[in-house]
Amino acid sequence: MKYEGGVHRVQRIPETEKGGRVHTSTSSVAILQKPKGAQIKIKPGELKIDFYKSSGPGGQYVNKRMTAIRITHLPTGLVVTSQTERNQLQNKENALSILAAKLLERKEIAETEQLSGERKAQIGWAKRAEKIRTYNFPQDRVTDHRIKKSWHNIEKIMAGNLNPIVSALTKSEI
């Protein structure tokens, strides 16, 4: 299916057309990989962990104990802090979960930008001039403009017999 990405042009004479004129339509096709379920794995060697005294309400206990935590993810420079719990371990777990969520969000944004770039590369501005293939029903012809080759028997091709087209595209290695 990698050869199908681009602008496809369809030329036909609708049943409702009284004058017999050919109508032209275009369709943009983008072939993208299915995204995989993302799970963030954070290596302990990528973390710098600092403990400090909490601030805010909590009385003297807050000022005496090093319960607050600051985690720096070294590869990205992302810093997360947690001081909501009275226990250092719970604050660490909170900070790690926040860090994982932020890293996952960054990864998803990067993947989205990559996919939109791939889509843009395949279909361009979706203009008629950028067409890769034309399906001409009045002439019973399919033309691939990239390799400048045509095939007849459009009904068979539209029913799913793309083998002649795919093999010609594979041989030309566009």
CATH number for position 92: 3.30.160.20
- Residue 19 sits in a domain whose CATH number is 3.30.70.1660
Question: Which long-range contacts (C-beta less than 8 Å, at least 24 apart) are formed by 137-142?
Answer: 137/10, 137/11, 137/12, 137/13, 138/11, 138/12, 138/13, 138/22
Structural domain includes residue 75 = yes
- Rounded to two decimals, the pTM is 0.53
Residue 66: pLDDT band with limits 50, 70, 90:
confident
pLDDT higher than 70, residue 172: yes
Same domain, yes or no: 101 and 165: no
User: What is the domain count for the chain?
Assistant: 2
Average pLDDT over residues 111-121: 78
pLDDT band at residue 159 under the 50/70/90 scheme: very high
CA distance 70 to 88: 11
- The answer to the question of residue 41 being in a domain is no
Q: What confidence score (pLDDT) does residue 141 get?
A: 95
Question: Would you state the structure tokens that stand for residue 119, as one six-digit string?
Answer: 């889509």
Q: Is residue 56, in this structure, part of any structural domain at all? A: yes
pLDDT of residue 139: 94
Place 56 in a pLDDT band, splitting at 50, 70 and 90: low
Task: List Cα–Cα distances, 29 to 2, 26, 44, in angstroms.
Answer: 10, 10, 43
Same-domain status, 117 and 51: yes
pLDDT of residue 31: 78
For 134, counting Cβ atoms within 10 Å of its Cβ (0-12 exposed, 13-18 middle, 19+ buried), the class is buried
- Please identify, among 81, 101, 121, the residue that sits at the C-terminal boundary of a domain: 121
What does the pLDDT average to over 130-157?
92
Hey, CA dihedral for 131, 133, 134, 139, is it positive or negative?
A: positive
List the domain range (segments joined by +) for residue 83. 46-121
In tens, the pLDDT along 5-48 reads 888 999 999 999 899 899 999 888 877 666 565 567 888 899 99
What letters, b where the CB count within 10 A reaches 16 and e where it falls short, cover 2-18? ebbbbbbbeeeeeeeee
Whether 53 and 99 share a structural domain:
yes
> In terms of domains, do 156 and 116 share one?
no
Q: What letter does residue 33 receive in the DSSP assignment?
A: P
Same domain for 153 and 88, yes or no, is no
46-60, 89-103, 147-161: the lowest-pLDDT one: 46-60
